[in-house]
Amino acid sequence: MKLKKGIPLIDQHDQFGFWGKRFGGSFIPETLKKPVEDLTEEFKKLRKDKKFIKKRDYYFKNYIGSPTSFVKLKNLSNHLGGAQIWAKVVSEANGGAHKIYNATVHALLCKAMGKKYIVGDTGAGYAGKMLSMAAKKFGLKCKIFMGAKDIKRQKPNCDAMKKNGAEIVPVYSGSQTLVDAVSECMRYWVSNCDNTHMCVGSTVGPNIFVKICGWSTAQISRELKLQIKSEFKKIPKKIKLINCVGGGSSAYGFWSEFIDFNKKQIELIGVEAGGPEKSKLHAAPLSRNAKIGVLHGAASYVCQDKEGQINTTESISAGLDYPGVSPIHCFLKDTKRARYTYATDEEALNAHVMVTKFENLNPSLEPSHAFAEAIKIAPKLSKDTIIIVNSCGDAKKDRDILKERLGKN
Amino acid sequence: MVSLINEAFRRARDAKRPALITYTVAGDNSKKKSLDILKSISTHADICELGFPHNTPIADGGQIQTSAYRAIKNGIKINDVFKIAREFKLSKKTTPIILMGYYNMIYQYDENKFLKKCGSSKIDGLIVVDLPYPENKSFSKKCKRKGINFIQLVSPTTSNIRLKKIIRDSHDMLYYISMLSTTGGKLKVSPQNILKNYFKIKNQNKSKNVVIGFGITGKTIKSLKKADGLVVGSAICKEISKSIKKRQNAVTNVTNVVKRLKNKIK
């Protein structure tokens, strides 16, 4: 298994859609073959279409607010000693998280394909909120599938979805979290694929959805590359790019421009959800050695039992609370280009507390997992090491959880 | 050698009616009960599909999901599914049994080991919902070598070119999905339209047995009787749920449902 240079990772799959011959693919019911093929064709055409790219860039700039800022966390760096810690503040994007990139591109694709309805899944509620925003912006009718447990714990985002005119469909099956929301959304699409477009909220699902999402979030690293160059004059010798990984859309977007670099120069570190310290449950298939399985139309490392039933996951962060992970991250793991680890709920909470204490930054529980790793390794590293954390979501949505766990408003 | 599946269709054709194909979930609501149901309904059914339940079924509607979750909760394992099938075949040697489920279960069991076990359990056919053409080519070939029918699905969205290729690579039976829906949806297409599509498939190769499934109930079954076979699943699962809720005998109730379905297509 080998990575190719000079080709975006999203395009390094074989004719059946597999990365490294074993991750990804399109394990879909026959009914979805046609809409998936249509979408594949349309995307293939549009991503080369100058007008479409111009439109995308226009909305990225004027609607999403690109570029998001790149800042040094001086106080945190001084407090910890060791490496310099920087943040790419992606949470400045319209809506408060990286999910807006994928949502905007899907809304543009939906329009281009002449469909009037768009549906999507959501865990933390960001994918849902952003899709509802994009739908409103482009005049599409929108339905969001969300686990009943997540609806309760991410209320601020649900309020936003409703305000944008989207219908939230609560999912009561299984664990009532993201995994069930994705299943229900796919079922809905099976029944309505003739007039409805589906947006998968991360770099998961059948091959084409991994590609579209990765193509959209890649904007983050395009900006970052320029920002690093202008800040340091050239790319520094020791960089660590730390990102949380649930499905893996923000991590891919954060890394895509840097995958071709030598890993000694730019190390990629993915941080999964380790779950509560005292629980056996987690949502960390890459770092806790899950087996390969098929979930939601793709093969990846999946938290599952011996028989292939998908395991219940547990994490304080709804956005990372997913038993599978993107096939491209499985590929990055097996080629050893990226290193994956996990942070527990408690470590993420502590990281959130520390970052908000020292910096004018309010990372949500998802990137707090990435900050936990940064806080752990920074003191051991030299001063010329640059740690960059993708602060990909804002903690406004976590208001209720933070209040409950920290007694904070 | 003629497969039991072909035999079952021939017998139905001789009786001038479509074959009745039932779907139940193994282990719903217990291992023993699901075997009893299977044995009892096979008096009226020509072919029995037995689902091996998965907890993330992306193409099943509410009724079958409920049955699957119930079976998993009651501890059903893949080897139990094989055991149920094997025991069924001991008493009903000529009734074909088809296993139906999602690919991850086969993948975790190991394709070759799974097919070997199918052979020793006398399984006649396999339907894998999320393993479409052409990704299923190598697995389908393996099935053929083991004498197991791999049953391809065809849907209203299947293009003509694709249809030709699927038929070319199919074994004895093809499964036409009546409409854009998960299992158990309300029939939203007219029977005439379903049959029009059906004959488009059937007329390409008359030697293939083509069945129609999804949304078929006591109300709709008669209008589709021109097909080679008709599959009823959700209506049966629903009856099991109802019987459990009312604390009635699910075996008797389900058997009566299947008997009534059969009478409508006789």
Interface ipTM: 0.96
Q: Which residues pair with A122 in a beta bridge?
A: A146
Residue A1 in any domain: the answer is no
Query: Which of the following is catalytic: B28, B46, B49, B80?
Result: B49
Chain A residue closest in CA terms to B185? A191
Residues A22, A144, single domain; the answer is yes
B153 at the A interface (CB within 8 A)? Answer: yes
Rounded to an integer, what distance in angstroms lies between the CA atom of residue A44 and that of residue A31?
21
Pair B22, B258: CB distance under 8 Å: yes
User: Residue B98 and residue B49: Cα distance in Å, rounded?
Assistant: 5
Best mutation target, B25, B54, B58, to test chain A (most A CBs within 10 A): B58
Residue A8 belongs to some domain of the structure = no
Q: How many CB atoms lie within 10 A of CB A108?
A: 18
Contact A30 B158 (CB under 8 A): yes
Q: Please give, rounded to a whole number of angstroms, the shortest distance from the CA of A50 to a CA of chain B.
A: 30
Residue A14 C-alpha, separation from nearest chain B C-alpha, in angstroms = 12
User: A383 with A297, same domain?
Assistant: yes
Nearest to B241 by CA among B85, B77, B68: B68
Q: pLDDT tens-digit profile of A136-173?
A: 999 999 999 999 999 998 999 999 999 999 999 999 98
Q: How far is CA A283 from CA A27, A129, A293, A331, B254, in A?
A: 22, 23, 15, 18, 40
Rounded to a whole number of angstroms, the distance from the CA of A304 to the nearest CA of chain B is: 10
Q: Please give, rounded to a whole number of angstroms, the shortest distance from the CA of B159 to a CA of chain A.
A: 7
Chain B CA closest to residue A310: B55
User: Average pLDDT over chain B, rounded to whole?
Assistant: 97
Nearest neighbour of B108 by CB, restricted to A30, A190, A293: A293
Search chain A and give the residue with CA nearest B80: A307
| Residue B189 forms contact with A (CB below 8 Å) | no
pLDDT one-digit tens code per residue, B190-212: 999 999 999 999 999 999 999 99
Q: Would you call B72 an interface residue with chain A, using a CB distance cutoff of 8 Å?
A: yes
Task: Out of B129, B135, B180, name the one closest to residue A191 (CB).
Answer: B180
Q: Are residues A24 and A145 in the same domain?
A: yes
Query: Does residue B108 contact residue A291 with C-beta atoms inside 8 Å?
Result: yes
Residue A36 C-alpha, separation from nearest chain B C-alpha, in angstroms: 11
Q: Which amino acid is residue B263, in one-letter code?
A: N
* Residue A318, burial from CB neighbour count under 10 angstroms (0-12, 13-18, 19+): buried
Q: For residue A286, is it within any domain?
A: yes
Does residue A171 sit within a domain?
Answer: yes
Size of interface A-B (CB pairs under 8 A): 112
* Residue B214 belongs to domain with CATH number: 3.20.20.70
B111/A contact by beta carbon, under 8 A: no
Q: Which residue has the tokens 């059969």?
A: B262
The confidence band for B180, taking pLDDT boundaries of 50, 70 and 90, is very high
Which residue in this structure is represented by tokens 């893996």? A248
Cβ–Cβ below 8 Å for B181 and A34:
no
Give the separation between CA A234 and CA B256, rounded to whole angstroms. Answer: 78
Judge if A168 and A297 occupy the same domain: no
CB contact under 8 A, B104 and A291: no
Catalytic annotation on B49?
Answer: yes
Whether residue A253 sits in one domain with residue A281: yes
In the prediction, which pLDDT does B79 show? 98
The residue among A269, A231, A229 whose CA lies nearest residue A71 is A231
Cross-chain residue pair A31–B156, CB shorter than 8 Å: yes
Please indicate whether, in this complex, the C-beta atoms of A307 and B77 are within 8 angstroms of each other.
yes
Closest CA to A137 of A84, A63, A40, A221: A63
Interface of A with B in 303-322 (CB under 8 A): 304, 306-310
Return the pLDDT at A408.
57
Q: Which of A214, A247, A271 is the last residue of a domain?
A: A214
DSSP A68: P
Instruction: Please report the pLDDT score of residue A314 as a whole number.
Output: 94
| CATH, residue A116 | 3.40.50.1100
Report if residue A257 sits inside a domain: yes
The 10s digit of each residue's pLDDT in B23-48 is 999 999 999 999 999 999 999 999 99
Tell me the backbone φ, ψ of residue A240, rounded to 5 degrees. Answer: -125, 120
pLDDT, tens digit (0-9, with 9 covering 90-100), for B74-87: 999 999 999 999 99
Residue B96 belongs to domain spanning: 4-265
Cβ within 8 Å of B, A 117-176? 173-174
Task: Find the CB nearest B180 among A33, A194, A310.
Answer: A194
Distance from CA of B1 to the nearest CA of A (A): 30
Whether A16 and B54 lie within 8 Å, measured CB to CB: no
pLDDT value for B1: 76
Confidence at residue A200, expressed as pLDDT on a 0 to 100 scale: 97
- CB distance from B178 to chain A under 8 Å? no
User: Given CB atoms, is A296 within the 8 Å cutoff of chain B?
Assistant: yes
* In the predicted structure, residue A126 carries a pLDDT above the cut 70: yes
B155 and chain A: CB distance < 8 Å anywhere? Answer: yes
A323 and A367 in a single domain? The answer is: yes
Q: Which residues of B touch A193 (CB under 8 A)?
A: 157, 180
3-state secondary structure of B181: coil
Same domain, A210 and A188: yes
Looking at the predicted structure, is the pLDDT value of residue A181 above 70? yes
A323 Cβ neighbours under 8 A, 6+ residues apart: A179, A283, A285, A290, A295, A302, A303, A304, A310, A311, A312, A313
* Cis status of the peptide bond prior to A262, with omega within 30 of 0: no
Interface check A177 vs B, CB under 8 A: no
Q: Find where tokens 């036409």 sit.
A: B176
Q: A161, A185, A214 — which closes off a domain?
A: A214
Q: B131–A173: do the CB atoms touch at under 8 Å?
A: no
Euclidean distance between CA atoms B128 and B124, whole angstroms: 14
The answer to whether residue A12 is domain-embedded is no
Whether A261 contacts chain B with CB within 8 A = no
Q: Is B111 a catalytic residue?
A: no
Residues of B in contact with A294 (CB under 8 A): 102-104, 107, 130
Tell me whether residues A174 and B56 touch, CB distance under 8 A: yes
User: Do A233 and A332 belong together in one domain?
Assistant: yes
Asked if the structure places residue A6 within a domain, the reply is no
| Claim to verify: residue A79 and residue A108 sit in the same structural domain | no
Are A191 and B102 in contact (CB < 8 Å)? Answer: no
* Average pLDDT of the segment spanning B160-188: 95
| Same-domain check for residues A39 and A143 | yes
A310 shares its domain with A175 = no
B54 CA to chain A: closest CA distance, Å?
A: 6
Confirm or reject contact between B135 and chain A (CB < 8 A). Answer: yes
In the predicted model, is pLDDT for residue A409 greater than 90? no
Residue A149 lies in a domain: yes
Give residue A175's pLDDT: 82
How many domains are contained in chain A? Answer: 2
A195 and A308 in a common domain: no
Q: Which of B14, B28, B46, B60 is catalytic?
A: B60
Q: How far apart are CA A209 and CA A203, in angstroms?
A: 7
Pick the residue from chain B with its C-alpha nearest to A34.
B157
Pinpoint the alpha helices (H) of B60-190: 62-73, 78-91, 103-109, 111-120, 137-145, 160-168
Digit-coded pLDDT (tens) for A297-347:
999 999 999 999 999 999 999 999 999 999 999 999 999 999 999 999 999
Which of the four pLDDT bands, split at 50, 70 and 90, describes residue A224?
Answer: very high
Domain boundary, last residue among A189, A214, A239: A214
Number of domains forming the structure of chain B: 1
Radius of gyration of chain B (CA): 17
A183 with B59: Cβ contact below 8 A: no
Residue span of the structural domain in which A195 resides: 18-60+98-214
Residue B108 has its nearest CB partner, among A26, A191, A306, at A306
